[in-house]
A and B are shown apart, each in its own frame.
Chain A
Amino acid sequence: MKIATSDEIRAIAGVDTRKCMKCGKCSASCPAYNEMDIRPHQFVSYVQNGDVEALMNSKSIWKCLSCFACVERCPRDVKPAKLIEAVRLSVIRQRGENYLSPDEIPALLDDETPQQLLMSAFRKYRK
């Protein structure tokens, strides 16, 4: 498995890990906390410290419910769930068949699909 860099994870998530003041409110809010081997607050420091490999191999990325309680409550606007999602995506992308090419987009367009969905899908799955 190709290991993503911290910069890639931060870019995908749109998160500045330096903003974290280590209050632990994310882990305090997390309903899946006990299922996780690496906890939400640790995701922030792992990315900040460059240890993305441990995160990509953790089971936490499959346990996060994406409930976004940590994002909602974080007093520093760090968005831990987005980091977890970014790590999860960098694992998923390498499993193949998950790519979106520009040619496929016209076929996906219909009146019901929000354009933003396609935009973000394309951003996440383009390579």
Chain B
Amino acid sequence: MREPGVALAGAIERDEGGLAIVTCPDLDLREWLVREVESLVPTSAQAFRTSSVREALDRPECMALLIPVDEAEVVRELDACRDQALEPPRTQPIVLFLLRDGDGHRTLAVEAPSAWSWASGSDVDPEKLAELDVESERASFRDETGAMPEEWLARWRRHELPRTPEHYARTFWAFTLERP
């Protein structure tokens, strides 16, 4: 079973020159997810927000959090310009935030095979994955880490946990299971 946090961390970290897609249920949660990603990625990633594909491509050393104004047009442009991400080689991915069932996903399915392939396997819907069984997931989290998600996050926020890939993944996971 794929834990949502591991899937999200995997999507963002697995390909340093890649395109990761984070699917958001609505615009409010999109903003929340953007902030969560911002707070979790290492400062060395130099994450920045943009709505421009050109700006994302022009800064290959920074993690571009691509938040489209026009999802369909952004997907079309990524499709056309995918190979421009090859030279110079990117050292950080582009993270694209798309609405679930929105124009961006439809354009990926209908018009943009290159962008679809670029993101293939790295497109996650963290909330949907988390819908599976929260109680069981929380129990799994405790079994694996020895802490409840809230305890884990408190330690993370106090910088008591080393910033390792494993801890980032677990922190992503904890975020999706955290209770208000």
Judge: A and B partners, yes or no.
no
